[in-house]
Amino acid sequence: MAKGFVSAAFFLVIYLAIFVPHFASTTVPAIFVLGDSTADVGTNSMLPESLARADFPFYGIDFPNSRPTGRFSNGFNSADFLAKLVGFKRSPQPFLYLSSLKSGLRRRMFRGVNFASAASGLLDITGKTEKIVPLPEQIAQLASVISNRTAVMGQAATQAMLSESLFCISIGSNDIFGYFLTNSTVPPEQYIGTLISSYEGHLKTIYNLGARKFGIISVPPIGCCPSQRLYNATGGCFEPANAFARAFHSALDTLLTKICSELPGLKYSLGNTYEMTVNVIENPSPFNFTNVEAACCGSGRLNGEQPCTPKADLCSNRNEYLFWDLYHPTHAASKLAALTLYGGGPRFVTPINFAQLAA
Ligand SMILES: *[C@@H]1O[C@H](CO)[C@@H](O)[C@H](O)[C@H]1NC(C)=O
Ligand SMILES: *[C@@H]1O[C@H](CO)[C@@H](O)[C@H](O)[C@H]1NC(C)=O
Ligand SMILES: *[C@@H]1O[C@H](CO)[C@@H](O)[C@H](O)[C@H]1NC(C)=O
Ligand SMILES: *[C@@H]1O[C@H](CO)[C@@H](O)[C@H](O)[C@H]1NC(C)=O
């Protein structure tokens, strides 16, 4: 009798663990993530021809079981930490993975999907040669998830779920890298204008699909990442790229204020990752960083001349580095960024933080 009770309770626990994972503790019904390598949790690993990938060591060395997952990090990335802060275990899985599952398991998409693909940008040409999922295609995938959900749950329930869900978007850095790589002669103001009008179109499309809560992550000081410091003889940040990042943030801030007044019910948080990162670079010790210039994994000057591979040099004190590889933050830096986006004040996230957006 007692034994029967125990095993019934046991099965109930298993049942709940499988079918309603973490439901009670989440503040939003689902989380949808779009963007580039700062949020990719394995999309590009599902693309055999993609050149922008992180599915080999030393990527993932601090992930559970030291497993490379396609994240451009030694462990988790900011999409994981943000999802965790709103009550999930980590980022939802990549669309390409979830859509490869048997139809019953695709119900997992109802708790969220990550569409982010490394090397993508706001412009269609950004990342094209790397064989990735461009942003318009990420949005088309989102539309297909929504139409399937609508077929199962009906229009009203689906729209209600979407209006409460968090839509995180982290994109723009690769477009700016592309400007410098191609030695573009387009005037910077005009280039930023093109990026922002593309962003406007994409945000409106996502809004029209039913999204209302937008967590927007701006471009960090990309001139300070190890690969860009190589363009500065002193090893300082490459100022022209940083000037672009600042101009991008300011134009994005203006755009969001505008569309917020045009689109009823839209709420957003704009994370100023430029300000957050410069704040750490200028005064690293309170954050327990001892190296904010070099990559932990890589080779050459500042470990920024070559990508992170199994043959690269690897630092031992990974928690003390801001940069994991020549472009990307460490697990520790991503965690700090997510905590600041979630709970930070108006210097770092405006007009409300991600916690207020999710509530
Ligand atoms: C949507 O449903 C169709 C038909 O059931 C299925 O073939 C397709 O793979 C589904 N798409 C997604 C994104 O789950
Ligand atoms: C851009 O300019 C640099 C330095 O002048 C040169 O090495 C590089 O090949 C140029 N790139 C392109 C795509 O023209
Ligand atoms: C190089 O870095 C220094 C700071 O160390 C900065 O003053 C200078 O503007 C930078 N130069 C370029 C070309 O980015
Ligand atoms: C820095 O390290 C100290 C000592 O290990 C710890 O108490 C503190 O919480 C750390 N600070 C941050 C911001 O992680």
Q: Which atom of ligand 2 is nearest to the CA of 182?
A: 13
Whether residue 182 has its Cβ less than 6 Å from ligand 2: yes
How far apart CA 119 and CA 210 sit, in angstroms, is 27
What is the phi/psi pair of residue 59, to 5°?
Answer: -60, 140
Q: Which atom of ligand 1 is nearest to the CA of 109?
A: 14
Say if CB 80 and CB 91 are below 8 A apart. yes
pLDDT of residue 19: 43
How far apart CA 253 and CA 249 sit, in angstroms, is 6
Helix or strand run (H / E) with residue 61: none
Angle at 111 between CA 106 and CA 116, to 5 degrees: 85
How far apart CA 9 and CA 70 sit, in angstroms, is 38
Report the SS3 class of residue 167: strand
Whether residue 103 has its Cβ less than 6 Å from ligand 2: no
What is the phi/psi pair of residue 158, to 5°?
Answer: -65, -45
For CA atoms 269, 227, 96, 334, the dihedral sign is: negative
- Segment 16-53, tens digit of pLDDT: 334 444 444 789 999 999 999 999 999 999 999 999 99
CA 141 / ligand 1 centre spacing (Å)? 10
The DSSP letter of residue 33 is E
* Given the residues 175, 325, 331, 334, the one annotated as active site: 325
Q: Which residue ranges form the domains of the chain, and what is each CATH number?
A: 29-358 (3.40.50.1110)
Q: Could you confirm whether 299 is annotated as catalytic?
A: no
* Residue stretches of the chain with pLDDT short of 70: 1-24
pLDDT of residue 108: 82
297-298 and 213-217: which strand pairing?
Answer: unpaired
Q: Could you confirm whether 328 is annotated as catalytic?
A: yes
Beta pairing partners, 295: 323
Report which of 153, 288, 266 is spatially closest to residue 216, judged by C-alpha positions. Answer: 266
What dihedral do alpha carbons 237, 181, 335, 111 form, nearest 10°? 160
Ligand number with the minimum distance to the CA of 243: 3
Whether residue 287 has its Cβ less than 6 Å from ligand 4: yes
Cα-based distances in Å from 210 to 148, 160, 322: 14, 8, 36
Reported as half-sphere exposure (CB side, CA atoms, 13 A), residue 88 has a value of 22
Q: Could you confirm whether 253 is annotated as catalytic?
A: no
CA 239 / ligand 3 centre spacing (Å)? 6
pLDDT of residue 105: 72
